[in-house]
Every structure is written in C-alpha cells, then in structure tokens.
Structure 1
Amino acid sequence: MGSGALGKLSEASAEEVSAVYKDLPPEAQANLKEALAALHKGNGLSIRSMISGSVAAVFEAASAETTYMDLVNALYAQVPETKSQVVKIFISAEPMDQYKTLGEQGVDAKGEVQYTVEEFSVGTKLTQEEAFAIFKGARDGLNSLSKAAVDETKSLKNPPQAVKTVVAAVAVLLQKPRGSWDDLRKMLTDQEFLPSLLSFEKDNVSTETLNELQWYLAHPDFQQERVKRVSAACVCLRDWVDCMHTFATTFQRLHMP
C-alpha cells in the first residue's frame, strides 16, 4: 500500500474503517491489517501470524511489564475467533513463557512477536458413569464457600499476587472486569457476589471462557498449596473455580456427539 493510501487510511474514522473492513475479502483484510500495522509501527508491539505471515494485531500499550495474557487479550480484541483457540506466542523461534513479562524475557516492547493457534478441546467424550464419578468428587468446591472468607479477601488493600490471580479467575467465570485489584474488589463487595457463586450456571460455561481460564488454572500462583500459604480465606474461592471448571468441562464431555 502506497504512502498516499496510508495517509487516507490514517484520516478515516474507526467506524468508517470497520464498515469497509467487514465487507472486504480475506486477502484485502490481510492487506488492511498490514497497513494499520505500518501506521502504528514504533508505537506498539506487532503480533504476527506464523501461518499467514501477516500482522494480526498491534498492542499499543506494550511495556516491559506486559505478559502473555496481555498479548492474548489484545489478540482476542482484534481477532475475535482466537477466543476459542489455544494461542501460542513465540519470541524469535522459542515459545514465550506464559508467566514471565516481556522485560524478563528480553523482548522489545516496540518490536514483534509471532503466534500460532490450535483448536481448544475439553477432552474426549465421557460415559454417564464416568461423568457421575467426576461430578461426585468435585462437589467439595461448592461446600467450602463462606461469607467470612469472602469478607476477609475483599478487605485486603494490596493482597499477594496469588490472591489476585485466584480472584481474577473467579472474574473470568463471572465475566466481570479484571484489569486491576480495584475492579476485583468491586466484584467482591457486590452484595450479589456470594449468591452468584452459589447459583452459578456451571452447565452453561462457554468454550471461550473455559479456554481463557486455562492460563489461570496452570498458573503457579493458583496452585492450592501456594494459595493456602498466603491466604487461607482465599482457598475457598480457588477451590470454587477448580470445581466449576471440572463441572463445566465434564458436562461438555458428557454431551459430546
């Protein structure tokens, strides 16, 4: 795309670009993404597909503190179909450590990373007997919730990272804002928070939500023993997340064709 076309593109409103973009054929959409990446060059981190070779997203807020999930969320926003896919981000030819920042891995926040995707799966089909056994073993996560534990957790002004990770995982399931501890405390202080956990529709969790939740479940700070060491009260929320994940994935596996 020539400099004149880039200039016209830079003058267009977001609504105008969006209206034109959705009607373009795939090749033209790829060209437009490259043009937008060119406009933003030097102002953000480019996220390039290793399959198509095109820049799929630009993360303008990238910094040394940016994490894997920050990049994935940027990709989710700009390429919505990736919400139901497992995203693997590569730094040069090496997979990015999902729990380290760009700075910790020596990545230029104004440079580029690459990514590939594969379809997310909850596993293979289960029989009714197999599913019943899993459901029975997972019920403890429902029984351990308490108002006292929630009150203690929400009273923390600057909690350990493990607490933030657990409460953010709860927010993923409830589809609540989770950009900061203030967002999470707002969720915890809502009078309907505990009732929403007790009445949560565990048989109706979307594939996109289960996919996003995987990062939290595997996080070192989410593991039960680590959470217990920093906040005994928060363990019940951690176990609730684990329980809801087990129920939701088992339900999907039971009802596979």
Structure 2
Amino acid sequence: MRARLGRLFRAGVTLGRIEADAEGPTALCWRDARGQARPPCDTVALGWHLRSETHLAELAGARLVHDPLWAQWRPETDPMGRAGAGLYLAGDGLCLLGADAAEIAGRLAAIACLQDLGLPHPASDLRRLKRPRRFAAGLAQAFPDPAARVAALPDSAVICRCEGITAGALRESAAHGGAEANRVKSLSRADMGRCQGRYCQIAATEILAAATGIAPEMRPAEAGRMRAQAPARPLPVSACLARPDPGRSQTILPSGRR
C-alpha cells in the first residue's frame, strides 16, 4: 500500500494544526523527520484506530476493564467470549479484529453456549483467532491513542459534538465536580447526546483527568469511565409505546380511554 501511494503517504508525523477559513479547512500543518510541512487542502480526515461497541455488553451486565493497548474500557471475557452467566460476546461488541475474526469469535461464542451443555472444546478456532489478535495489536501500537495531545487541546475545542461541549466547559465542570467521569458527565452533559459518547467519551475523560492532576498511568483507575445508558441507539417514541394485543378484549370507557 505504501509503495502504491508513494509520496502521498507520510509516516512518523506529528500533527501541528489545521488552518481554516469560513469555508472550511485550507491547510494541514505537520512535522516529521524532515521538518515542517504545510500542504493546502480542502478536507481533513482524522482517526486513531477504532473503538469497540461496548454499550450493549455493559447494559447486559458485562464487567468492563481498561485495556491500555486500545486506551478503552472493554468487556472482560474468557477466550470463548463468556462475559458472565448466560452472557456471550463476539465481534465488535467485544474487540475489533476484522470481519474474519468476528465470524470466528461468533462461532466460539455460540459453541461456548453449547459447550456449557457439554460440547467438546473448539481448539482449532481458538488457534485461528491468534493471528487477527496479533494484527490488531500491531495496529493499536502503530496508531497509539494521542492522550497527551487531547489533554492539551485549547478551551475552545469542541469535544462533544452532539451537545456542543468544549474542552473549557469540561475543565470547568471538573473544577466543580472533581475527577470522576460520571459526575462531570452530569454537570456538563458530555456523553449525553445522540452518539451516547462514542465520539467524545475517551477524550472527555482524558481532559478532566489531566485538568485535575491525575497522573497518566492512574487515570483509568481514578477517573473511571462514563457509564452506558439505554437506549443504545436513538429510537422513535413509537418504539417505546405499548401496542394493544389484538387477541385481548378491550373495554372502552365513557371518557374515551381504553
């Protein structure tokens, strides 16, 4: 891939700033081993690897543990995907390892469910899952979470896009509520918008931990995480309304109520 991209690919880059005007981005400034660069552009895409979708697992009762490799709280399971009594996880709900690995993990979780009823141990699938796990770990190491850069964002930077919460508002909330993620969440409304924290949660926690002086290695334990809330996805009000059972008789009251 790097050979095909040629000079379009840059490795070992430290992002400096994105310059913009009223119409959008105009230039991207970075620094690499050869020095500074400032190429013009009209679009910028940013990404530091992917995040597992843990909301459903948490709401189902799985225990979450902090994974320093992925800089994320993830469900704790055994190699088969067991996350507790009657709870089995696979695919993106457990760890992002790619489509092929998700199929293997799904098969393992299904077998684990049956294995609890006496099915033999599936050693071959466990061996096949080792390679995508090594590959995923390599990606996480190649694109590490930029925790220090996130913590240093200016007060004007918007962290929670759904609610329009800036880094400054998070730091102000941390000054009043202390270094506890859910207390700052309730004060600032970060993590309460449409995306339910999928975009902002980790960055917001990093900012509040740095603002309250927690050492980087102690931040997961002391600051904690913003807990998942139902619903896991936005849904219409009609989905929450009880529908009448056509098989049951209904009484019409004089007031028009049923």
TM class by shorter chain equals: under 0.3
Q: Which TM-score applies when normalising by structure 1?
A: 0.28
Give the structure with the higher percent strand: 2
Give the structure with the higher percent helix: 1
**Bigger radius of gyration:** 2
